[in-house]
Structure 1
Amino acid sequence: MLQACLNGSRTAEEHPALPLTPERLAEDAADAAALGVTSVHLHPRDVIGAETLAGPEIATTIATVRAAVPGVEISVSTNVPGHRETLIASWGPLAAGRPDVASVHAGDPAWRELARALHRVNVAVELVVGAPADLRDLPGGISRVTVTATRATAEPLLRLVEPLGLPVLLHGADADAWPVLTYAARLEHHVRMGLQDTLVKPDGTPARNNAELVSLARRNQRARAPR
């Protein structure tokens, strides 16, 4: 699987093509889907551009993106301030406005409670592991583990998560984004790419947009696929 990570916590000042509104996220998701992406990860924003888990903003963003890419998995982040369990509980009746998956960071002291809250509203969990963590007694509803790593930390983190028997998505950020993608593709793990993870192409020059990054990631992934 190649997932497109469209915006993350970045601001509009960081890149002119960063999608923040539901309409721009839908456009970038459609461009990524045309390149073969089957999952998009995004950070919904409120009217002032702040990340949010509030039901109305989640519903508007997810429904708008889903209309543009029916059949593509939509993942959101829960790594935002606020009473997250209460906000997640409000997603239950959202129907087409409810995400398919939400990421929960294993370094968050409340991650098990968040995972259970997501399970109660029928949203699968993407468990994010970026450092050694206690992964015993996993709650239900975890669909995969996303490992955030540098090239140096990737191997020990994989040794931690691979025994769980869940699909693994391995990615890096900024200077590590492309080296880790290459490594993950060689291991045949799921990968991701987009403006959340890096603003530049493998040669270090600025990327035009998410579509360019995804296209280059797809080419990299195919080049390292077993023949």
Structure 2
Amino acid sequence: MLQACLNGSRAAEEHPALPLSPERLAEDAADVAALGVTSVHIRPRDVIGALTLVGPEVATTIATVRAAVPGIEISVSTDVPGRRGTLIASWAPLASGRPDIASVHVDQPGWRELAQALHQVNVKVELVVESRTGLTELPDGVSRITVVATRDTAESLLAQVEPLGLPILLHGRDAEAWKVLDYAAILEHHVRMGLEDTLEMPDGRTAKNNAELIALARRRQRSRAPR
């Protein structure tokens, strides 16, 4: 799988093509889906541009993106301040405005309760691992593990989570993003790329947009996969 991480928690001034509104996210999702992406990871915003898990605002974003890319997995992050469990409980009646899967960081307090809240509203759980945690027993509803690593830490983190037997998405950030993508492709793990992870192409040039990052990521994924 190649996932596109379209915006993250970045501010508008960080890149002129950063998609923040539901309409801009839908446009970018359609562009990257045409390049072979089968999953998009987005961070919904409220009317003033702040990260949000509030039901109606999440629903507006998800439904708008889903209309542009029907059939594509839509993932969101739960790494947002506030009463996250209560807000997620309000997602139950959202129907087409509910994400398919949501990420939960295992280094944050209360992550198991958060995973349970997602499971109760029929949203799959993607656990995010960034350091060695001794993770052995998984909550209900976990369908994937995302490992955030540098090229130097990837091997040890993968050794921790691979025995759990779930699909793994491996990615890096900023200067490590392209190196980790290449390594993940060699190992045939899921990969991701987009303006959330890096604003730059491998040669240091600022990327034009998500589509340019994804087009190159797709080529590198294919060229490095075992034959």
Matches within 5 A, 1:208-223: 208-223=208-223
Partner-residue secondary structure (3-state), 1:155: helix
1:30 aligns with 2:33: no
Aligned 8 A contact 2:91 2:98 in 1 = yes
Equivalent residue for 1:157? 157
TM-score (norm 1): 0.99
Amino acid aligned to 2:72:
V
Distance 2:219 2:86 in 1: 41
Identical columns (%): 77
In structure 2, the partner of 1:62 is 62
State the shift of 1:13 in Å: 0.5
Equivalent residues in 2 for 1:96-111, closer than 5 Å: 96-111=96-111
Tell me the distance in 1 between the aligned counterparts of 2:63 and 2:78.
18
Name the structure 2 match of 1:168. Answer: 168
State the Cα distance separating 1:137 from its structure 2 match.
2.1
1:180 aligns with 2:205: no
Q: SS in structure 1 opposite 2:94?
A: helix
Residue 75 of structure 1 corresponds to 75
**How many residues are matched?**
227
Identify the residue that residue 46 of structure 1 maps to in structure 2: 46
Compute the TM-score of the two structures, normalised by the length of structure 2.
Answer: 0.99
Aligned to 2:9: 9
Alignment RMSD, CA only? 0.5
Instruction: Tell me how far apart the structure 1 counterparts of residues 187 and 62 of structure 2 sit (CA, whole Å).
Output: 32
1:109 CA drift (Å): 1.4
User: Corresponding residue for 2:88?
Assistant: 88
Partner SS, residue 163 of structure 2: helix
Q: Is the 8 A contact 2:126 2:144 kept in 1?
A: yes
Q: Give, as a single letter, the amino acid of the residue that structure 2 aligns with 1:180.
A: V
Partner of 2:191: 191
Q: 5+ residue gaps in structure 2?
A: none
Q: Deviations over 1:68-102 (max 9, x none)?
A: 00000000000010000000000000000000000
1:83-138 CA distance string (max 9 Å, x none)? 00000000000000000000000101111000000000000001000001131221
Poorly superposed stretches of 4+, deviation over 4 Å: none
Structure 1 unmatched runs, 5+: none
